[in-house]
A and B are shown apart, each in its own frame.
Chain A
């Protein structure tokens, strides 16, 4: 069996997380924001799996399963909201959602 340095795994996850963060704060199209959120969730799941592999038990994988479920539900609701947004404002620009101003 091979040995993989622990910090490489964590490094990969952190890099993916940081990329997702950049995407969330930069993009103006709400679909991209949602996608970047998915990237971040995925990176978090990677951390759990790396941890479970290190200590040789399956608990990390169970956690990843939960995260997956969560991501699925969240995407479903989020996309429904995007559809409503498009219906109401005819655009996917999130800057139109500024009624809470002031």
Chain B
């Protein structure tokens, strides 16, 4: 029955083809049925594969569908691989994906490009599934590029507005930088280890490379480059906030639950390689830490509802990277799953808010909406509690495990833990800042709008609410995956964490919630009085702009590039070809003078020719 693994991406692919080719002719109901239904079918297929797998005793399953390339020593197949990690990923992708598709049938109902939306969404899910079930890196790269393409197409979905096009382009180019790094990493791995098949590659690497060897460091750094691009971490995190220009369901699916977790998946999948290069692994943790703090600061200053959630996503993925960096692999994947639940819940709730308030994005133009938008209010409350790691929500368990894992690292472990705790404090502040400003207090605008919600939109929200609350109790079957030769994990299990530290981890998010309550709900402190402090305004605009990364990149890369293309407008390389033209024209100008049209000139040339021939014959 594991042959049906190949069916997983096939249903969404068929959905894509149908909607792409025939979408213009089908009625809305049918489009929605095909679009969401194909993902639903994939979810059922995933369930039908996972149940026997979990109850059986095999650790992994492989199934080759088709040989894609076979050139010389290199062979790449459409090979599919199933183990515990894959199980988690496919269930999250198809499950949360199906809920978001269902929501979109209600959310996008008035959009004229309804079929295009679902076609590209289906292609996206197909690519993501290919990415996670690939057994070789080349097929994974295919899925990687596919999700990048769909992300571009969907961010720029409303292409008639040029700003959306710029945002899509920015996303694509930034992730492309990461993709190039990853491609070079693939080349390195192939030339050194002779194969791109993941499991064999990992075995070869562990045999041939010592811990800390140059190749391991180089390969993992390059792969890290790719992961950083796709998952919007430092230094390639600038594209994600602008990607909020796309429709809200795709922000939920691509930029919260699935695509941005591809980097995390890659590192988790290649974890033996990273264990061979401990410095790079530490770098992963540091990148995660830096990103989560930077994004946390920025999220506190934003006032667009989706941008707050975008920076929150960057921050939470920073937590996942932190977990990967300290060797808490299972914890990171667990956090990936719970994050998918509550972040999708938050984004879909935000979609409801935006749609109900006639596309209003600014939270300071809303207020006191808890009565008007009850379902959205519930979604945000539950989602934000999970995000801030309120005890016994799903987010609490996963974040806790990561922070405990961070403590286990020698030397810097305490600092990493401290950074994570500070990040949790900020998370509490900004998540509840959003809730308090939008749903409590005085109603600042849009007084009479009722909530837009039908069954299609409400049902996914309820399911996600349940998952966000109770998802922490799911035990993910990744123990077998991460137990091979992972010394760090072993120590992590043995390390005892003091009760004090546990208490700190519980209390700090609550402190954050409390602080934001005091600022935004009870009015005890006010932001405007804070702003009167010296340097406050500079700090605020610095954090608001995402720590100036956009400005920095513009200065370092974009302006020189534009200057260079302006200087080279006449195209230096072209002058060579223009030179050929000039040369022929010159040759023509010279030789056309012999065509004088005068009869005597022609007679003379004939005579000269005859004389030459005769004299050649006579004198030679």
Contacts and interface: CB of A to CB of B under 8 A. Distances in A.
Report A-B touching, CB under 8 Å: yes
Task: Report the interface size class on chain B.
Answer: 10 to 19
A33 B603 CA distance: 10
Contact of A100 (B595, B600, B604): B595
Interface string B566-606: 00000000000000000000000000100111111001100
Given A21-B607, A24-B607, A25-B604, A94 B596 contact: no
A102 B589 CA distance: 10
A101 B603 contact: no
Contacts of B604: 25
Contacts of A33: 603
B607 A95 contact: no
Nearest to A97: B599
Contacts of B600: 25, 28, 94-95
B185 to A, nearest CB: 63
Contacts of A98: 596-598
Nearest to A94: B599
A98 B596 CA distance: 7
A95 to B, nearest CB: 6
Contacts, number: 31
Contacts of A21: 607
A36 to B, nearest CB: 10
Contacts of A100: 595, 597
A99 interface: yes
Task: Report the interface size class on chain A.
Answer: 10 to 19
Nearest to B600: A94
Contacts of B598: 94-95, 97-98, 101
A101 B596 contact: yes
Contacts of B599: 94-95, 97
A12 to B, nearest CB: 18
A21 B603 CA distance: 10
A101 B595 contact: yes
Interface in A75-102: 94-95, 97-102
Contacts of A97: 597-599
Contact of B597 (A24, A25, A28, A99): A99
Nearest to A27: B600
Contacts of B603: 24-25, 33
B7 to A, nearest CB: 73
Contacts of A24: 603, 607
Nearest to A26: B600
A17 to B, nearest CB: 11
B594 to A, nearest CB: 11
A21 B607 CA distance: 8
A3 B134 CA distance: 109
Nearest to A99: B597
The 3 closest A-B pairs by CB, nearest first: A101-B597, A98-B597, A100-B597
Interface of B: 592, 595-600, 603-604, 607
26 contacts: A21-B607, A24-B603, A24-B607, A25-B600, A25-B607, A33-B603, A94-B598, A94-B599, A94-B600, A95-B598, A95-B599, A95-B600, A97-B597, A97-B599, A98-B596, A98-B597, A98-B598, A99-B597, A100-B595, A100-B597, A101-B595, A101-B596, A101-B597, A101-B598, A102-B592, A102-B595
